Amino acid sequence: MAYELPPLPYDYSALEPHIDTETMHLHHDKHHQTYVTNLNNALAGQDALSAMQPTDLIKNLSKVPDAARTAVRNNGGGHVNHTMFWEIMTPGGAKAPMGELAQAINSTFGSFDDFKKQFGAAAAARFGSGWAWLVVEGGKLAIVSTPNQDNPVMDNPNVTPLLGIDVWEHAYYLKYKNVRADWVNGFFNVVNWDKVAQLYAAAK
Ligand code: MN
């Protein structure tokens, strides 16, 4: 069994003007594909590990042989992170969370605007490449960030990521150049809040 690149759930141009078509092609077809290819290469001959669901694999890095562990961390994380990233965006979705998720965001962060500010601050504060996340653990929401292609479940398998923004320059540089804050604002125009709410409901 080899891991495979999932197709984008929408057209490459679907998130214009917030994410440009060229960035989507490079990001999905080249960057994400490379994580998948390198993950499969790292696990060559390790059939039991290769058969694991990607999220289970990165929750169990201690089971990966030493020689492959860093490659699996980076590329397995890259595969999981990007698979989620495509799913939590959509063209023309709700502009804000609704229902129980909205209530939880308001009670945890003050308001949706306060959440966006705190999430943006986490994205801005991540030095170099990485991700900022909205996660839930035991019903409690939190904002965290990770370096490189790390995923929050690597350090805490009880946490469930609900939303993640890629702040690697490959995610935004063609359109937003060096202005990461503008990328965060653009990202909020394409978040799939229905999907985030599904993930929240499933995690509870
Ligand atoms: Mn990326």
For 179-190, the pLDDT digits (tens) are: 999 999 999 999
Spacing, Cα 12 to ligand 1 middle (Å): 15
How much of the chain, in percent, has pLDDT values that exceed 70?
Answer: 100
Give yes or no for a cis peptide into 17 (omega within 30° of 0): yes
User: Over the range 126-138, which residues count as b (16 or more CB within 10 Å of their CB) and which as e?
Assistant: beeebbbbbbbee
Spacing, Cα 135 to ligand 1 middle (Å): 19
Instruction: Report residue 93 as tokens.
Output: 């979705």
Spacing, Cα 81 to ligand 1 middle (Å): 8
Across the chain, mean pLDDT equals 97
Position 6 scores a pLDDT of 98
Rounded Cα distance between 92 and 172, Å, is 20
Check if the beta carbon of residue 5 is closer than 8 Å to that of residue 25: no
Position 93 scores a pLDDT of 87
Spacing, Cα 18 to ligand 1 middle (Å): 16
Check pLDDT > 80 for residue 1. Answer: no
Instruction: Report residue 130 as tokens.
Output: 């990485």
Spacing, Cα 66 to ligand 1 middle (Å): 25
Rounded Cα distance between 160 and 134, Å, is 9
Spacing, Cα 150 to ligand 1 middle (Å): 12
Check pLDDT > 80 for residue 43. Answer: yes
Check if the beta carbon of residue 157 is closer than 8 Å to that of residue 59: yes
Task: Dump pLDDT digits (tens) for 57-88.
Answer: 999 999 999 999 999 999 999 999 999 999 99
How much of the chain, in percent, has pLDDT values that exceed 90?
Answer: 97
Check if the beta carbon of residue 130 is closer than 8 Å to that of residue 166: no
pLDDT band at 137 (very low <50, low <70, confident <90, very high): very high
Count of all residues that appear for the chain in the document: 204
Position 113 scores a pLDDT of 98
| Whole-structure pTM value | 0.97
Task: Dump pLDDT digits (tens) for 80-125.
Answer: 999 999 999 999 988 899 999 999 999 999 999 999 999 999 999 9
